[in-house]
Amino acid sequence: MRQEPPILEVKHLYKLFAPHDFRGDRKMAYKLLELGATRKDVLETTGITAAVSDVSFEVKRGELFVLIGLSGSGKSTLVRCLNMLHRPSRGEVLMDGEDITQYSEAQLRELRRTKVSMVFQHGGLLSHRDVLGNVAYGLEIRQVPKEERQARALEILRMVGLEGYEHEALGSLSGGMKQRVGIARALANDPEILLMDEAFSALDPLVKNDLQFELLRIREQTGKTIVFITHDINEAFKLGDRVGILRDGRMVQVDTPERMLEQPADEYVRRFIHNVNASKVLSVRNVMTVPGCIVKQSDGAHVALTNMRTSGVSSAYVVGEAMHLRGIITLEGALGVREGRLTFEEAIIKDVPLVDNPDLPIADIVPLAAKAAFPIAVVDEDHVFRGIVTKASVLSSFVA
């Protein structure tokens, strides 16, 4: 199958900052960086700050890609190069195969109006406009008719959970609600790529958690490509399909959260992700196992008892046609059937702990695991039995 080309490609990108009165040779800075010199060495030798050094990565269409790093790692500078708020010193930024570093100012204005939108940490909202006026602002700049832009703005406000707030003044809104307005304004132009620079970092944990969930829901609903900037490793791993870790302007590793946990590129990455909550990164699929004993509904109690004895367990999972889960039969229940006190159907416990999404984060099933009398059964969207998750495997994810 032919793979769809990435919507965004960054190739050997540099962004150097020099003093206004700089008269030196930038070639020396590039040469030092190519030889592996640190940002500090380059600054001391040339007077130039290498904010971004030889960074390359790509973003797939519809992907939520997270850039993470400590303060000063270059992540905010890098994201501003993606819409040319900062012009790169060297390298390429390709959107749908076109190098936007070669765009004229007119082309860049059109790019920002139609293809790429940005959400800043503090919103960048217009205080003299109400909520509706802020969300519709980009459409107004594009000279979309008033009735059409207001209808679009109202539609987006419903999507981000702000229906009924369209005529509220910004000063009356909480920090979380203002960020929702910022997201709505960015989405109103229907961009292909949404850039989010530390959008949730100033919010308290409960509000941040709500907005993280909201962002995932919006991405699922709209299919937008999102590049998200954060310094919070748990946020990065919760949101990102893939994550890129920056250190002193260089990209250290790009990978899925799961592979990054399993195979950190170096000791820096290992230390960086050391405190991540693995239960929010690993999914049910990662820890589920094949049950020790499965019987078909057509087998009956005698087969169930034989299989339990052979497997050394006291219960069996019962499946029907096409491996659809029917429930659990215990040793006591199977003996009751053999003794004639129950039918096999009556002996099947149908109210079993169940997860119907193998990709659910383990953290989401902790309450279910805590009160479950049996391992949690895992089925797919067609109710096909895929495996089980034990309490032990849930607990072990917290100390991975």
The pLDDT tens digits of the residues spanning 278-296 come to 666 677 887 888 887 889 8
Element (H, E) at 376: strand 376-379
* Confidence label for 79 from pLDDT (cuts 50, 70 and 90): very high
Report the SS3 class of residue 154.
Answer: helix
Number of Cβ within a 10 Å radius of residue 104: 8
What are 350's two structure tokens? Answer: 């149908």
* pLDDT above 70 for 198: yes
Mean pLDDT of 336-362: 89
Distance in angstroms (rounded) separating the CA atoms of residues 48 and 31:
12
pLDDT score for 400? 47
Does the structural domain 59-280 have CATH classification 3.40.50.300?
yes
Average pLDDT, the chain: 88
Q: How far is CA 342 from CA 306, 331, 332, in A?
A: 18, 13, 11
Q: Tell me the helices (H) and strands (E) count for the chain, helix number first.
A: 18, 16
Taking CA 238 as the corner, what is the angle to CA 2 and CA 52, rounded to the nearest 5 degrees? 75
Residue whose token pair is 């990455």: 269
* Domain map (residue ranges) of the chain: 59-280, 285-399
- Closest alpha carbon to 183 in 230, 131, 141, 233: 131
Average pLDDT over residues 311-340: 91
**Which pLDDT belongs to residue 216?**
86
In the predicted model, is pLDDT for residue 223 greater than 80? yes
pLDDT in tens, 91-150: 999 999 999 999 999 999 999 988 999 988 766 788 888 999 999 988 888 888 888 988
> What's the average model confidence in pLDDT over 52-79?
94
Give residue 162's pLDDT. Answer: 87
Q: Which residue has the higher pLDDT, 266 or 284?
A: 266
- CA distance linking residue 53 with residue 90, whole number of Å: 9
Residues 113, 189: contact at Cβ < 8 Å? yes
Instruction: Please give the angle made by the CA atoms of 194, 197 and 199, to the nearest 5 degrees.
Output: 95
Query: How confident is the model over 209-215, as a mean pLDDT?
Result: 84
Highest averaged pLDDT of the listed ranges 52-66, 208-222, 283-297: 52-66
Statement: residue 399 has pLDDT above 60: no
Q: Where is average pLDDT lowest: 1-5, 39-43, 201-205?
A: 1-5
- pLDDT at 312 > cutoff 90: no
CATH topology of domain 285-399: CBS-domain (3.10.580)
Residue 75's φ and ψ, nearest 5 degrees, are: -65, -40
CB 127 within 8 A of CB 181: no
Enumerate residues 6+ apart whose C-beta is below 8 A from 246. Answer: 55, 67, 68, 69, 73, 74, 75, 78, 252
Compute the distance between CA of residue 153 and CA of residue 98 in angstroms, rounded to an integer: 30
pLDDT band at residue 397, thresholds of 50, 70 and 90? Answer: low
Considering the entire predicted model, what is its pTM?
A: 0.71
Measure the CA–CA gap between 204 and 91, rounded to whole angstroms.
38
